């Protein structure tokens, strides 16, 4: 059966940083940024190939900002129109001896956005349509992770024609909510599960047109339930639609990166 890997992401914690531009911090040793043609079946991911090679495929600048600052795409506003239409590939080398953590990778990405795209912004709190992630009526059915405490949380989403598989390992609920809002659902997600541990779980569901930015076609005869039902049945969790204040990034300035 044909499959399409759309996202390969490590779960990461929420990011705290100053309101203007990227904070001082680690940077890539060297990075190549290249505009690319995109299509409906193009793979989109951010991952490490080995301990030092950072790879990003088929992201717009708006998607890169959302990833780097741990936001839903809707929470990134304004800026020139091309930040939503021009797609880029990034290949970079990380410093140090060991593979950087996900948070360290995103800090390097924030530095790259400030340097290569001349990104500057400010933050505003706005009321959005959001999802609240909470335990179902019977409580969660999540099992504690068997991973070592030092293992990085991981999540890889694999899209098949009729279903999506999302196995998570050593995942926190804050990290799971982060991945839901950045890569899957169409609005910000706030974690209110009150679950503070780390968990291993496998989630399988049939997508609809509101997920993955509309990049996945819904199936009319899927043998697996839709996302909201799958969350309840498989994890004892639920997403509740409501409204609430969300911190947003308002793009003040951005430039197309110069040729490498």
Helix (H, G, I), strand (E, B) or coil at 191: strand
Full residue range of the structural domain in which residue 144 is found = 126-245
Q: How far apart are CA 101 and CA 254, in angstroms?
A: 27
pLDDT at residue number 2: 39
The tens digit of pLDDT for each residue in 115-164 reads 999 999 999 999 999 999 999 999 999 999 999 888 888 877 788 878 89
Are 223 and 115 part of one and the same domain?
no
> Do 166 and 59 reside in the same domain of the chain?
no
Residue 81 belongs to a domain: yes
Q: Which of 226, 126, 231, 223 is nearest to 176 (CA)?
A: 231
pLDDT, residue 152, reads: 83
Give the pLDDT score at 182: 86
Q: Is residue 133 part of a domain?
A: yes
For the chain, what is the domain count?
2
pTM surpassing 0.85? no
Q: What are phi and psi of 230, to 5 degrees?
A: -65, -40
What pLDDT is attached to residue 41?
Answer: 66
Positions of the chain with pLDDT lower than 70, given as ranges:
1-24, 40-41, 219-220
Lateral strand order in the sheet of 120-135: 76-78, 237-253, 120-135, 189-191
């Amino acid at each position: 059966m044909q499959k399409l890997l759309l996202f390969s992401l490590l779960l990461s914690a929420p990011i705290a940083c100053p309101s203007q531009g990227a904070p001082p911090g680690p940077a890539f040793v060297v990075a190549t940024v290249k505009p690319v043609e995109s299509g409906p079946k193009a793979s989109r991911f951010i991952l490490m190939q080995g301990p030092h090679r950072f790879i990003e495929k088929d992201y717009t600048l708006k998607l890169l900002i959302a990833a780097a600052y741990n936001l839903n795409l809707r929470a990134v506003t304004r800026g020139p129109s091309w930040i939503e239409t021009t797609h880029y590939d990034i290949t970079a080398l990380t410093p140090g001896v060991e593979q950087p953590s996900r948070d360290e990778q995103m800090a390097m990405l924030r530095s790259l956005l400030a340097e290569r795209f001349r990104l500057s912004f400010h933050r505003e709190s706005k009321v959005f349509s959001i999802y609240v992630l909470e335990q179902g009526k019977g409580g969660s059915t999540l099992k504690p992770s068997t991973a070592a405490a030092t293992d990085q949380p991981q999540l890889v989403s694999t899209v098949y024609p009729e279903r999506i598989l999302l196995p998570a390992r050593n995942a926190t609920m804050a990290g799971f909510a982060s991945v839901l809002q950045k890569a899957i659902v169409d609005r910000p997600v706030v974690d209110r599960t009150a679950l503070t541990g780390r968990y291993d779980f496998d989630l399988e569901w049939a997508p609809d047109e509101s997920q993955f930015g509309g990049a996945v076609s819904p199936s009319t005869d899927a043998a697996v339930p839709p996302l909201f039902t799958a969350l309840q049945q498989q994890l004892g969790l639920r997403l509740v639609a409501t409204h609430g204040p969300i911190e947003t990034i308002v793009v003040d300035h951005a430039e197309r990166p110069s040729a490498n």
